[in-house]
Amino acid sequence: SKLKETVAVLVALEFSLTMTDKYEYLDHTADIQFHSWGASLKEAWESVTIAMFNYMVEVDNVETTSERSIEIEGHDLDSLLYNYLDEWLFVFSTEYFVCKEVKITEFDREAFKIKCVGKGERLDKKKHQTGTEIKAITYSCMKIVEEQNKSDIWVIVDI
């Protein structure tokens, strides 16, 4: 039955997560919610990037043979996160670049600016397992929580 198949897929997905994965997928009506975390806000930000790419293309088989740099601005942390993920989605949609690793090189929290470098390669459907297309980033239920030794990000994307 469909329910058994769905449960089997969810169980397999749960077991496929490793200790280094710092994100999870949460069900949300007609959309998907990413929850990422890290020891710092910067680390949680980097993790939500990989969560987004991994949702569209399984990043396990992606090689880090190319780099893309982006610079993003916002007027607050929420708009910075939105603009940041939207720019990476644009890079994927226009260049078919799949990011496996991302490193934020500058995170200006007062001017709300980020510079980062993503490593990965161009999508190759013969090599890469594709997932679900993300149509857009949303502000719906967006939440950024920063504590002393842990930061969390929740963001919903339209699929």
- Residue with the two structure tokens 């680390």: 43
pTM: 0.82
Contact between 74 and 80 (Cβ < 8 Å): yes
Q: What is the mean pLDDT of residues 17-30?
A: 68
pLDDT at position 135 is 94
Number of Cα atoms under 13 Å in the Cβ half of residue 24: 10
Average pLDDT estimate for 31-54? 96
Give 127-158 pLDDT, tens digit per residue: 999 999 999 999 999 999 999 999 999 999 99
Q: What pLDDT score was predicted for residue 19?
A: 45
Task: Give yes or no for residue 28 having a pLDDT over 70.
Answer: no
- Tokens 């007609």 locate to 30
Q: Residue 80, exposed/middle/buried by CB under 10 A (0-12, 13-18, 19+)?
A: buried
pLDDT surpasses 80 at 8: no
Mean pLDDT on 41-61: 97
What is the mean pLDDT of the segment spanning 52-69?
97
Output 8 or 50, whichever has higher pLDDT: 50
Cα(36)–Cα(77) distance, integer angstroms? 15
Question: What is residue 23's predicted lDDT score, i.e. its pLDDT?
Answer: 84
What's the per-residue H, E or C state across the chain?
Answer: CHHHHHHHHHHHHHHHCCCCCCEEEEEECCEEEEEEEECCHHHHHHHHHHHHHHHHECHHHCCCCEEEEEEEECCCHHHHHHHHHHHHHHHHHHHCEEEEEEEEEEEECCCCEEEEEEEEEECCCCCCCECCCCCEECCCCCEEEECCCCEEEEEEEEC
| Dihedral, 12, 53, 144, 39 alpha carbons, nearest 10 | 70
Q: Which is more confidently placed, 37 or 19?
A: 37
